């Protein structure tokens, strides 16, 4: 099975390729990978050792070199990049030039075709049953209206559909959300998931929001500041790019609290922090008789190390969903996203339950999908992707 990464030379992609090889080789435990927990044992997910990586990127730095830099920055543990050098080199060979680059004269259609050809070629040469396209590129500025050119993320999403591949958007970029792509996705019969991986502050918010709501405590203001360096810090220092991300962060509050509290969320580019991210949240809430109380949280994490195991989870789950004949928005994967596609609960606990039910459906999917449909009908709480058959121009 193939994993085609948009932004294949970035920190997240490098950590994905390195970590998959290291875990497959038994060098590290699969910490952070939910698909390696017992609930997924018989769900028919592809083995880590069966994943083949390729992707698009607009920069040149070879993956082994990138892994060295991440090691120096404390993102990858010492020694691991050397131990999996062969796998990094193999993945590096499968990275094709992305676009559009400045001065690129190709039309949107030409770009989509070129990208789709790259993916098909990858699948063909490796004799893969299927490949999942995952967007882990830097966040784009929000789209500029209906007449603006398609954002790159949408070109890649359309290329994925053209190549018959399921698609996962791990970023807040538009990707499959653009109206042009949304129509195509509907027609394609392919499953897709997204958007914007929930790795830190929003993960916390998705458990703290429900806590306040369930305890009937009134949240007056929820303020937050994110400090991060690395590529994402620079990209999000652009207010247009930060807007999409913040929308997701605030959505989880509105959805779990049932109201939008006061307060802003800042994203600051602090290059000195490198790939490390600090998120401070300050929550002013009222208790009984209006007594004012405060909760503060500080989350200090490494962005790539938080994202990479989720990317591996998503690639495996989406591939298996495709194999099981599911199509459309995979709302059962809301557990992973700030701004989930489809119709999904906002609290992490419910999202986790939905994910575990999905694991069950994938398991039953092997024996016969009818069973899954019956369970579905009985369980009003689940909102699974629709099942379709015989569609998609698969490679």
- Smallest distance, a second copy to C-beta of residue 266, A: 5
- How far apart are the C-alpha atoms of 130 and 199, rounded to whole Å? 27
> Residue 348 contacts by C-beta under 8 Å, 6 or more apart in sequence?
203, 206, 207, 210, 335
90 binds a second copy (CB under 8 A): no
Residues 233-262, one symbol each (x = binds a second copy by CB under 8 A, - = not), give ----------------------------xx
- How far apart are the C-alpha atoms of 324 and 312, rounded to whole Å? 18
380 binds a second copy (CB under 8 A): no
- Smallest distance, a second copy to C-beta of residue 247, A: 18
204 binds a second copy (CB under 8 A): yes
Of 2-10, 90-98, 178-186, 279-287, the window that binds a second copy (rule: CB under 8 A) is: 279-287
- Smallest distance, a second copy to C-beta of residue 5, A: 16
Residue 179, helix vs strand vs coil? helix
- Smallest distance, a second copy to C-beta of residue 230, A: 13
For the segment 311-350, give every residue that binds a second copy (CB under 8 A): 335, 347-350
248, 254 in Cβ contact below 8 A? no
For the segment 96-115, give every residue that binds a second copy (CB under 8 A): none
For the segment 46-85, give every residue that binds a second copy (CB under 8 A): 71-72, 74-78, 80
361, 384 in Cβ contact below 8 A? yes
Residues 149-188, one symbol each (x = binds a second copy by CB under 8 A, - = not), give ----------------------------------------
- How far apart are the C-alpha atoms of 222 and 297, rounded to whole Å? 11
216 binds a second copy (CB under 8 A): yes
Question: Which lies closer to a second copy via its Cβ, residue 41 or residue 107?
Answer: 41
Give the residue, chosen from 295, 371, 382, 388, that forms a contact with a second copy under the rule CB under 8 A: 295
Of 11-19, 117-125, 177-185, 369-377, the window that binds a second copy (rule: CB under 8 A) is: 11-19
- Smallest distance, a second copy to C-beta of residue 82, A: 12
For the segment 24-53, give every residue that binds a second copy (CB under 8 A): 28-34, 36-37
Question: Which lies closer to a second copy via its Cβ, residue 217 or residue 247?
Answer: 217
Cβ-based neighbour number of residue 134 at 10 Å: 32
Of 18-26, 111-119, 122-130, 180-188, the window that binds a second copy (rule: CB under 8 A) is: 18-26
Question: Which lies closer to a second copy via its Cβ, residue 280 or residue 371?
Answer: 280
Give the residue, chosen from 47, 148, 289, 367, that forms a contact with a second copy under the rule CB under 8 A: 289
- How far apart are the C-alpha atoms of 198 and 184, rounded to whole Å? 26
- How far apart are the C-alpha atoms of 334 and 48, rounded to whole Å? 22
263 binds a second copy (CB under 8 A): yes
- How far apart are the C-alpha atoms of 45 and 130, rounded to whole Å? 13
| Cα→Cα distances 272→231, 234, 268, 388, Å | 12, 12, 11, 49
- Per-residue exposure over 363-386, b if at least 16 CB sit within 10 Å of its own CB, e if not: bbbeeebeebeeeeeeeeebbbbe
Give the residue, chosen from 14, 15, 173, 246, that forms a contact with a second copy under the rule CB under 8 A: 15
- How far apart are the C-alpha atoms of 264 and 389, rounded to whole Å? 45
Question: Which lies closer to a second copy via its Cβ, residue 28 or residue 383?
Answer: 28
Give the residue, chosen from 46, 231, 309, 325, that forms a contact with a second copy under the rule CB under 8 A: 309
310, 197 in Cβ contact below 8 A? yes
Give backbone dihedrals phi and psi of 249, rounded to 5 degrees, phi first.
Answer: -65, -40
Q: Tokens 């030409």 label which residue? A: 110
Give the residue, chosen from 82, 214, 254, 260, that forms a contact with a second copy under the rule CB under 8 A: 214
Give the residue, chosen from 288, 380, 389, 390, that forms a contact with a second copy under the rule CB under 8 A: 288
- Smallest distance, a second copy to C-beta of residue 213, A: 9
Q: Is the N-terminal amide bond of 234 cis, ω within 30° of 0? A: no
- How far apart are the C-alpha atoms of 352 and 131, rounded to whole Å? 25
Q: Where are the beta strands (DSSP E) in the chain?
A: 2-6, 52-57, 95-97, 131-135, 167-169, 191-194, 218-228, 265-269, 276-286, 292-302, 328-329
- Smallest distance, a second copy to C-beta of residue 100, A: 31
């Amino acid at each position: 099975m193939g994993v085609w990464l948009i932004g294949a030379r970035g920190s997240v992609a490098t950590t994905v390729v390195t970590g998959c090889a290291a875990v497959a080789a038994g060098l590290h435990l699969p910490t952070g990978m939910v698909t390696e927990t017992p609930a997924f044992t018989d769900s028919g997910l592809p083995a880590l050792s069966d994943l083949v990586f390729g992707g698009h990127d607009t920069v040149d730095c070879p993956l082994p070199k990138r892994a060295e830099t991440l090691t120096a920055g404390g993102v990858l543990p010492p020694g691991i990049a050397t131990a999996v050098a062969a796998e990094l080199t193999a993945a590096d060979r499968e990275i094709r030039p992305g676009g559009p680059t400045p001065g690129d004269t190709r039309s949107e259609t030409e770009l989509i075709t070129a990208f789709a050809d790259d993916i098909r070629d990858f699948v063909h040469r490796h004799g893969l049953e299927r490949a999942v396209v995952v967007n882990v590129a830097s966040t784009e500025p929000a789209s500029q209206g209906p007449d603006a050119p398609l954002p790159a993320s949408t070109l890649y999403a359309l290329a994925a559909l053209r190549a018959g591949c399921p698609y996962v958007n791990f970023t807040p970029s538009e990707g499959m959300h653009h109206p042009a792509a949304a129509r195509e996705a509907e027609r394609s019969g392919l499953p897709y998931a997204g958007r914007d991986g929930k790795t830190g502050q929003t993960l916390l918010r998705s458990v703290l929001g429900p806590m306040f709501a369930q305890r009937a405590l009134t949240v007056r203001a929820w303020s937050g500041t994110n400090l991060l360096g690395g590529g994402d810090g620079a990209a999000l220092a652009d207010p247009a790019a930060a807007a999409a991300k913040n929308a997701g962060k605030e959505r989880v509050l509105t959805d779990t609290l049932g109201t939008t509290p006061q307060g802003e969320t800042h994203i600051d580019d602090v290059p000195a922090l490198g790939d490390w991210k600090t998120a401070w949240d300050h929550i002013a809430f009222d208790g009984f008789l209006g007594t004012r109380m405060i909760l503060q949280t500080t989350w200090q994490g490494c962005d790539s190390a938080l994202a990479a195991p989720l990317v591996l989870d998503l690639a495996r789950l989406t591939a298996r969903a495709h194999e099981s004949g599911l199509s459309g928005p995979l709302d059962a994967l809301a557990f992973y996203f700030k701004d989930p596609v489809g119709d999904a609960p906002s609290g992490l606990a419910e999202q986790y339950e939905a994910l575990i039910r999905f694991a069950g459906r994938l398991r039953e999917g092997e024996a016969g999908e009818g069973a899954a449909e019956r369970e579905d009908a009985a369980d009003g709480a689940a909102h699974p992707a629709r099942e379709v058959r015989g569609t998609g121009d698969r490679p």
